Amino acid sequence: MPDAGGMPDYGHPLRFGAFITPVNSPASQPVRLAVLSEQLGFDLVTFQDHPYQASYLDTWTLLSWVGAQTERVQLSGNVLNLPLRQPAVLARAAASLDLLSGGRVSLGIGAGGFWDAIEAMGGRRLTPAQSVDALDEAIEVFRGIWDAAERSPLRAGGEYYRVAGAKRGPAPAHEIPVWIGAYKPRMLDLVGRKADGWLPSLPYLEPGDLPRGNHLIDQAAATAGRDPREVTRLLNIPAGQSADDLVRLALEDGISTFIVMGDDPEGLRRFAGEVAPAVREQVDRARGQRGTQPPGRVRNSTALARRRPGIDYDAVPPSLASRAVEPGDAGYARYTSSYLRGGAPGLVLRPQTAAEVRDALAVASRHRHLPLGIFSAGHGLSGRSLNDGGLVIDVGALNAIEVLDAHSGRVRVGPGARWADVAQALAPHGLAISSGDYGGVGVGGLATAGGIGWLAREHGLTIDHLLGVDVVLADGTLTQASATQNPDLFWAMRGAGANFGVAVGFEFWAAHVGRLAFAQFVFDASDTAGFLRRWGTAIEAADRSVSGEVILGARQGRQRYAQAMLVADSSDPDTIVERLQPIADIAPLLDHSVALTSYDQIMTSLLSEAPQQGQGEPHSHSGLIRHLTPAFGQAAAALLDARASYFFQIRAVGGAVSDVPSDATAYGWRDANFSVAAFGTRASGLDRWWETLTPHMEGMYLSFESATGPEVLQRAFPREHLTRLRALKRAYDPTGLFRDNFFIDPAAVDSAA
């Protein structure tokens, strides 16, 4: 794009690379040069690709090897030989290496040459016109494979590379740029229409080729509705090119990436030590004088076409723009599924600091017409951390875990950490925080709602271990809430936190926890009502060191199984047996195992590292109940017999949870000894059957409830709590910015008043 002085400088950041010959004798040579290049500060290492050349290493294998030997430097073919590299497979390989290398791959590609050699290797000879069409198809295939967010199978290509229903993915770690090595007008037209970069070699250019090429590319880009700045201009240059030459090429021909050819370590050293800094200095100075603006992140037209209505994308502040994820971006697949839900947000902001959370909330407050999700680790049931067409603030990067004082157990944890990570970080200090039963759940969602975990009866809820929390409020203020600072807010954050702000840091006191037992029992629960009654009695009578849950499903034939998982916090086998035996005796035991283990091992064993794949909306109900009475047992058995729930879970609370006075935290149902959760579907009649259970309940735990709406709030909080929460909502979030997780409407008339 011509700058104010009429000269092309697209404003891209200057980068320097090495062009290394992939010789295979000695095979270590190109690797050594690549490692040296990284040490010298080069931004990228590139290798030519001649798969028919017996004296060369295979370039793709070499790239993978170099990726493993380096840490920072970008990797690319310069350029890969398309006729001998099947595009769908190449796309998958590039995505794989991008994931393995932490987002360091670029796809330099060329249409081919040396056709006799290509034919000798089984490749197909193409005319120049055919080569352009083939590369055009290949680019569609690359991007189609990388578009893991799109769920339909990939159909792309045509005459040269027909892909007929390929599985997409994996999504690369970053948006892999496609750079084309091109010289002729038709190929330059393709660069303008589709590529992310133009990569010619200076020795093959005639005077005037660069401006002519830029002009053709810019024209083609503009005709295709693209911003010419989407196309980075790269250039292979011979070693020995002077800094002045390169400055001219940068300022007059728009070249921003110089890749120095030659396999001489001294040449690389000289270039990195003398030429590159001189070019950088002069170009920066000239750009400063001209007022050249860096283009920021330029999205291609395909990505722009996927933007959702009602979002002012240009208003995203620079602090967040570079990490923001939009529907057309490579990282978007992460936000199309959480653990239980599907999603299609219009914009994901990924702050890394509390200040950036404030910036993100400023964007959110200008988009009140859209849903707003706060995303920590994506396990929300009540909370909609994903949405359709709205904003999502992903606090996953705020995931630090710090032991402040191992003796007293004071720890600081970011909302983006997962509980398995917390358990692992605390284990070497002999510490644990009772969180939930599943290691993948996020700190942000659970520690603002309650936290019913494996040590609940012994150590209470997660929120009972909270000493303080740093919160960014709706108006952007970063504040602290603790027993002494903003105690009202601290009260609200422990049970209704999602309504009051974005928690950006938690301080907990962790308990000293040693070896303990993890037991799994499978019971015959065909006498379901009787089983539930006996389960309730046995758990209430058990030592407080015993906590856990039982899960029931539909009958199989006449039989119904109940699967129980229990923790007994003791390392003494006799004590463990003594505490668990009364529970094991309540019904015919079909299978059992008891292992001596540790809290962190339990949390990490119940964890999947696979990408989340939730789709649709979960349908669940929650209730808190004091005792599993015969009447409750009969109602629950009838619900299960009607197949209204495929997953019916009863967790132990009580014990230390009940030691905390009801009015101490927003979570108020402290008398309950059990939390009941039922997952089903609308079609299974769950709602209707659940109504038969609610008369036995005294409230509910909002983390297991998928319904929303004001009537749900009446059950989630005791009446006085709800009155107080409404008053606090009016003080802290009067306009209702946080409304996507059990919205406490500040304007609602308080029925209790």
Ligand X SMILES: Cc1cc2nc3c(=O)[nH]c(=O)nc-3n(C[C@H](O)[C@H](O)[C@H](O)COP(=O)(O)OP(=O)(O)OC[C@H]3O[C@@H](n4cnc5c(N)ncnc54)[C@H](O)[C@@H]3O)c2cc1C
Q: Does 644 bind ligand X (CB under 6 A)?
A: no
Partners of residue 574 on adjacent β-strands: none
Applying the rule CB under 6 A, the residues between 387 and 426 that interact with ligand X are: 395, 415
Please give the Cα distance from 369 to 360 (Å, whole number).
Answer: 16
Three-class DSSP labels, 26-44? CCHHHHHHHHHHHHHCCCE
Q: Which of 157, 453, 633, 746 binds ligand X (CB under 6 A)?
A: 453
DSSP 8-state class, residue 406: T
Q: Does 436 bind ligand X (CB under 6 A)?
A: yes
- State the CB neighbour count (10 A cutoff) for residue 125: 12
Element (DSSP H or E) covering residue 491: helix 487-496
Q: Does 75 bind ligand X (CB under 6 A)?
A: no
**Contact assessment for residue 63 and residue 47, using Cβ atoms and an 8 Å cutoff:** yes
Residue nearest to ligand X (CB): 445
Q: Which of 169, 444, 654, 655 binds ligand X (CB under 6 A)?
A: 444
Q: Does 333 bind ligand X (CB under 6 A)?
A: no
Least Å distance, CB 729 to ligand X, is 14
**Contact assessment for residue 276 and residue 260, using Cβ atoms and an 8 Å cutoff:** no
User: CA neighbours within 13 Å on the CB side: how many for 504?
Assistant: 22
Q: Does 460 bind ligand X (CB under 6 A)?
A: no
Virtual CA dihedral for 307, 310, 311, 314, nearest 10 degrees? 90
**Contact assessment for residue 263 and residue 29, using Cβ atoms and an 8 Å cutoff:** yes
Applying the rule CB under 6 A, the residues between 492 and 551 that interact with ligand X are: 497-498, 502-503
> Which one of the spans 34-42, 430-438, 526-534, 680-688 is the region binding ligand X (CB under 6 A)?
430-438
Q: Which of 340, 603, 635, 637 binds ligand X (CB under 6 A)?
A: 340
- CB-nearer residue toward ligand X: 376 or 673: 376
> Which one of the spans 21-29, 51-59, 162-170, 439-447 is the region binding ligand X (CB under 6 A)?
439-447
- CA proximity to 33, closest of 16, 20, 23: 20
In sequence order, what are the residues at sequence separation of 6 or more whose Cβ sits closer than 8 angstroms to the Cβ of residue 751?
none
Please give the Cα distance from 676 to 639 (Å, whole number).
Answer: 13
Strands 44-47 and 15-20: parallel
- CB-nearer residue toward ligand X: 273 or 734: 734
Least Å distance, CB 285 to ligand X, is 44
Binding mask 682-721 for ligand X (x = CB under 6 A): ---------------------x------------------
Give start and end residues of each alpha helix (H) in 11-108: 28-40, 59-69, 87-101
> Which one of the spans 21-29, 305-313, 432-440, 513-521 is the region binding ligand X (CB under 6 A)?
432-440
- CB-nearer residue toward ligand X: 146 or 717: 717
Determine the size of the site formed for ligand X (CB under 6 A).
38
Q: Which of 37, 385, 547, 706 binds ligand X (CB under 6 A)?
A: 385
> Which one of the spans 260-268, 369-377, 531-539, 591-599 is the region binding ligand X (CB under 6 A)?
369-377
Q: Which of 437, 464, 470, 733 binds ligand X (CB under 6 A)?
A: 437
Q: Does 612 bind ligand X (CB under 6 A)?
A: no
Look up residue 280 and give its two tokens.
Answer: 């950088």
Look up residue 356 and give its two tokens.
Answer: 């950036």
Least Å distance, CB 358 to ligand X, is 13
Q: Does 236 bind ligand X (CB under 6 A)?
A: no
Least Å distance, CB 376 to ligand X, is 3
Least Å distance, CB 663 to ligand X, is 21
- CA proximity to 255, closest of 210, 203, 317, 216: 210
Please give the Cα distance from 111 to 133 (Å, whole number).
Answer: 9
The 3-state DSSP class for residue 259 equals strand
Please give the Cα distance from 477 to 654 (Å, whole number).
Answer: 36
Applying CB under 6 A, which residues contact ligand X? Answer: 338-340, 373-381, 383-385, 395, 415, 436-438, 441-442, 444-446, 448-453, 497-498, 502-503, 703, 740-741
